[in-house]
Amino acid sequence: GAVVSQHPSWVICKSGTSVKIECRSLDFQATTMFWYRQFPKQSLMLMATSNEGSKATYEQGVEKDKFLINHASLTLSTLTVTSAHPEDSSFYICSARGTGVLSYEQYFGPGTRLTVT
Amino acid sequence: TQLLEQSPQFLSIQEGENLTVYCNSSSVFSSLQWYRQEPGEGPVLLVTVVTGGEVKKLKRLTFQFGDARKDSSLHITAAQPGDTGLYLCAGLADDKIIFGKGTRLHILP
C-alpha cells in the first residue's frame, strides 16, 4: 500500500517551453502533496505544499508563477514548470501524505528527471 | 526554525563494519521517519518511530527514537554494499514534516 507514481520519469525539453509533471497517489487519498527539487548529491529541497482544493503554499525563494501547482483531486497533483531554462534542470520528486493512520508519513514518488536544453 | 541535523554527512566504510547515523534537533517531534534514497530514485520509507525511547529493527538496521523525542539514530550492523545510499531522517512537528540534509553512505566491497 501507499504507492505514489510520477509521470513522466524523465523529460527533455527546449528552453522556453513548459513541462507538466504529474504525481498520483495510487491506493490512498492524499489531502496534502509536496513537491521537492533535488540537485546531484544533495538532499531534498521543499518547493511547495499542495493541498487539495486550495492554493499551494510555496517556500521562500520559489517562484509561484514559474512553478505552477494544481491539486485537483485527492489523488492527483501537477507541477508545471513554465518557460523552462537550463537552470531548471533537476530531479523533481513529489510526495503524498495520507489521512488517518497515514497522516504522519510521507510516501515519495520515483522522481522526474528534467533536462532543459 | 526547526532543524534536523544529521551526522555524519558522508561516510565511507568497508563491508562488514558497523555504523551509526544520528539525527538531532532541539525540537520535539510527534514522530520521526527514516528514508533511504538510491541515485535516480525517490526516497523509500524505512521506518517510523513514534514513542520516546522506541527501538525498531529492520533486519540489520536498528532505529531508536530518543526518550525526549528530539533525536534518533540508525545503526547498521555488518554493512553491505547494498546499504549504499542517501539516508534521510524526517520529523513531524506542528503538522509539518522537516527533513534533515541526509547522510550519504558508501559501503566498499
**Which residues 75-94 on chain B approach chain A with CB closer than 8 angstroms?**
86, 88, 90, 92
**C-alpha–C-alpha distance, residues A16 and A84, integer Å:** 5
Distance of CA A49 to the CA centre of its chain: 9
Closest Cα in chain B, distance from residue A6 (Å) = 10
- In the predicted model, residues of chain A with pLDDT beneath 70 are 1, 100-104
Closest Cα in chain A, distance from residue B9 (Å) = 10
Mean pLDDT of the B38-63 span: 94
pLDDT at A102: 61
pLDDT at A103: 67
Residue that is written with C-alpha cell 517556500 in the block: A59
**C-alpha–C-alpha distance, residues B103 and B109, integer Å:** 19
Q: Give B51's pLDDT tier (boundaries 50, 70, 90).
A: very high
Q: Is B23 near chain A, with CB under 8 Å?
A: no
Q: Chain B residue closest to A3 (CA)?
A: B44
Structure confidence by residue, pLDDT tens digits, B4-39: 999 999 999 999 999 999 999 998 998 899 999 998
Q: Is the dihedral of CA B43, B49, B53, B54 positive or negative?
A: negative
Structure confidence by residue, pLDDT tens digits, B83-107: 999 999 998 877 777 889 899 999 9
Which residue type does B37 have?
Answer: Q
**C-alpha–C-alpha distance, residues B84 and A8, integer Å:** 26
CB atoms A109 and B31 under 8 Å: no
Closest Cα in chain A, distance from residue B43 (Å) = 6
Q: Chain A residue closest to B100 (CA)?
A: A43
pLDDT at A105: 77
Diameter over CA atoms, chain A: 43
Q: What is the DSSP string of B4-29?
A: -EEE-SEEEEETT--EEEEEE-SS--
Q: Is A44 near chain B, with CB under 8 Å?
A: yes
**C-alpha–C-alpha distance, residues B91 and B50, integer Å:** 10
**C-alpha–C-alpha distance, residues A75 and B19, integer Å:** 39
**Which residues 26-65 on chain B approach chain A with CB closer than 8 angstroms?**
30-31, 33, 35, 40-45, 48, 50
Which residue type does B40 have?
Answer: G
pLDDT at B2: 60
CB atoms A104 and B45 under 8 Å: no
pLDDT at A1: 63
Query: Is B31 in contact with B50 (CB distance < 8 Å)?
Result: yes
CB atoms B43 and A108 under 8 Å: yes
**C-alpha–C-alpha distance, residues B72 and B101, integer Å:** 14
Q: Is A37 near chain B, with CB under 8 Å?
A: no
Please name every residue paired with B49 in a beta bridge, in sequence order, or none if there are none.
B32
CB atoms A43 and B101 under 8 Å: yes
